[in-house]
Amino acid sequence: MRRLSVRIGDELTRELLEANQSTEAGVNAQRERVRLLRERLKDLDSSDVHNLRATADMLVKKSVWSIGGDGWAYDIGFGGLDHVVASGRNISLLVLDTEVYSNTGGQMSKSTPRGAVAKFAAAGKSAAKKDLALIAMSYGSACMARVAMGANDAHTPTVFREAEAFDRPPLILAYSHCIAQGYDTGHGLEQQKAAVLSGYWPPMRCNPALAKEGKNPFVLDSKAAAVAAEAVRLQRRPLHHARPRAPGRGPRAGPSGGTGRARPLAAV
């Protein structure tokens, strides 16, 4: 592109190569520059021009995410995920946290909360849920966030945009409803809302870049609990969140007579 700068225009060449694309507006401005570049290349012909035409779209920043479930993130792929988060390299990670392995039929993962019963963990999980958010925060290199789309659909895209704007590996933990949780997933967003309103899944962000500006890197995007935590358990069928069968395995869960349908949330 530098070799063609006399014909493309020095200013456009410099702007294309040095564009700040950390915000949506910055990316849109770069798209417009690429459109202009294509116009200026229209009547030119050389191998450099051909190459530039073929690769011009690469000048616009792409949003690329690695996506997996909690089984991947907390267990079977944890080594790799942990390495990326600790490295500080800008690789975006999204965990769809259903708190249970679904694809293989319903085993507990390290994300499964204490006392929960899964199809292949009938005695109830004895250990507490692993705190991936805390692990990520402890490195001080990653931009971590916890979201639940059903609770606040404006918060989720804001968090994604923010996470992409910083030159840090974003790790987003998204509370996700799932058929293995045993309720009608048509009510999944209500389930997510219950998880947030009850304080079970408080949305939060931790961005170490803010500390450099003298700000608190941790932002809690959640109000005090407004519904009983029981609401979350009641909506899940016995298969996932039921009274643990083995004594001493976690707190007593709600009655195991879930209907598989979401129920209205009870105020605290």
Ligand X SMILES: Cc1ncc(C[n+]2csc(CCOP(=O)(O)OP(=O)(O)O)c2C)c(N)n1
Q: Give me the residues that bind ligand X (CB under 6 A), please.
A: 68-72, 76, 98, 101-104, 109
In this chain, which residue has its C-beta nearest to ligand X? 69
Of 30 and 92, which has the nearer Cβ to ligand X?
92
Residue nearer to ligand X on the CB measure, 46 or 103: 103
CB atoms within 10 A of CB 264: 9
The DSSP code for 74 is: I
Residue 76 CB, nearest distance to ligand X (Å)? 4
- Give the count of alpha carbons within 13 A of 99, CB side only: 26
Structure tokens at 250: 């976690």
Question: Which CB sits closer to ligand X, 118 or 206?
Answer: 118
| Shortest reach from residue 144's CB to ligand X, in Å | 19
DSSP helix/strand/coil, 206 = strand
Q: Tell the smallest beta-carbon distance from residue 179 to ligand X (Å).
A: 10
Number of neighbouring beta carbons within 10 Å of residue 6: 9
- Closer to ligand X by Cβ: residue 103 or 259: 103
User: Closest distance between ligand X and the C-beta of residue 78, in Å?
Assistant: 10
Nearer to ligand X, 69 or 169 (CB): 69
Residue 172 bridge partners (DSSP): 94, 145
* CB-based contact 219:178 (threshold 8 Å): no
CB 69, min distance to ligand X, A: 2
CA distances from 236 to 19, 42, 158, 244 (A): 48, 59, 29, 14
Give 69 or 203: the residue with its C-beta nearer to ligand X.
69
Q: What's the chain's Rg over C-alpha atoms?
A: 23
> Minimum CB separation from ligand X for residue 98, in Å?
5
Distance CA 148, CA 202 (A): 9
Structure tokens at 251: 């707190």
CA–CA distance from 254 to each of 114, 128, 230, 234, 240 (Å)? Answer: 13, 18, 6, 6, 12
